[in-house]
Structures are given as C-alpha cells and as structure tokens.
C-alpha cells in the first residue's frame, strides 16, 4: 500500500507539472487566424496534438487525484473531525 501511495503522489506531481507546461504552450501558441498558425509546430507536435496531450494529462490527473483522496480518506476524516 505504501508503494502505491508513493506512485500516486509522484504521478500527481508529474502530471501537474506536465499539465502546467503544456498549458503554457497552449496559452502562447498562435491563434488559428494568424498567418502560419496552421502549420505551427513546437517540439515536433502540431496545434491539435498539444490540445489532445493536455486532455489526456488532465484525465490522468483527475484519476490520480481520486485515488489520492481514497487512499488518504481516513486522514481526511480525522482532520475534519478536529
């Protein structure tokens, strides 16, 4: 159980940082109506691929967050009692 908790916590950290970085790339990408925006690539990925990557990372983050809550539910209940 301890190894699984470590895996979930590390996965949350990695997915959060990845979401942040991909979100920044998406924020600074050129808009579709700008010249050359449709052929825009960054690190070998096109506009749509960055969006899909962000969606997949968000799903992983949500899944790991739910696992993290269930793994620490007893501690959360204890905290809320006091």
Task: Give the C-alpha separation, 73 to 71, whole Å.
Answer: 6
In the chain, where the domains are located: 6-28+41-81
Distant-in-sequence, close-in-space partners of 42: CB < 8 Å, separation ≥ 6: 25, 29, 50
Q: Could you tell me the pTM of the whole model?
A: 0.76
Q: What is the mean pLDDT of the chain?
A: 84
Which residues on neighbouring strands pair with residue 63, listed in sequence order? none
The confidence band for 32, taking pLDDT boundaries of 50, 70 and 90, is low
The confidence band for 78, taking pLDDT boundaries of 50, 70 and 90, is confident
At 34-68, the pLDDT tens digits run 666 566 667 777 777 888 889 999 999 999 999 99
């Amino acid at each position: 159980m301890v190894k699984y908790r470590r895996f979930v916590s590390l996965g949350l950290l990695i997915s959060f940082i990845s979401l942040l970085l991909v979100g920044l790339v998406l924020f600074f990408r050129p808009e579709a109506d700008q010249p050359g925006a449709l052929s825009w690539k960054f690190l070998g990925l096109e506009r749509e691929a960055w969006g899909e990557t962000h969606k997949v990372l968000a799903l992983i983050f949500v899944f790991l967050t739910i696992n993290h809550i269930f793994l620490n539910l007893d501690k959360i209940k204890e905290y809320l009692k006091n």
